[in-house]
Amino acid sequence: LDNLSGGPTAVGTRLKYHYKDGNRTGVMDGSVVAREQDRKLTNRFTDKMMDVTVDFDVAPGATPDQTTLTHTVTIDTKGFGKVFTPMIRRQLPGQTTGAMAELKRLAESGA
């Protein structure tokens, strides 16, 4: 994920998302569409085949030393991308779970 605007992330920050999905690689242009420090971040990305919205919502956990993070990905396929909808539905849960586990590991390590 590249911050094309430079500086701190804020609403309007231009982003470029690089992905690899099996043998396929690609790039999506995007931007930060919502941001509340320590509470919420929403990014929106688009390319020829899909529009993707990624939400991160943070809330206090059950104890003072815990935090709850809710990660939501919404994908709207378009044009030829509609052909990939069944595959995306199958693969996305595993990819998201893996990414969130890695994020949790990094957060807990203090990295």
Burial of 30 per CB tally in 10 Å (0-12, 13-18, 19+)? buried
111 pLDDT more than 70: no
Give 85's pLDDT tier (boundaries 50, 70, 90): confident
Contacts of 25 (CB under 8 A, 6+ apart): 18, 19
pLDDT in tens, 31-75: 999 999 989 999 999 988 889 999 999 999 889 888 888 989 898
- Specify whether the backbone of 12 is left (phi greater than 0), alpha (psi in -120 to 50) or beta: left
Mapping DSSP to helix (H, G, I), strand (E, B) and coil, where does residue 9 land? coil
User: Which tokens in the block code for residue 99?
Assistant: 């990414």
User: Which tokens in the block code for residue 40?
Assistant: 């919420």
The predicted pLDDT at position 80 comes to: 74
d(CA 102, CA 6) in angstroms, rounded, equals 25
Domain chopping of the chain, boundaries: 32-109
Residue 98, beta-bridge partner list? none
User: Average pLDDT over the chain, rounded to whole?
Assistant: 86
Beta-carbon neighbour count of residue 54 at 10 Å? Answer: 19
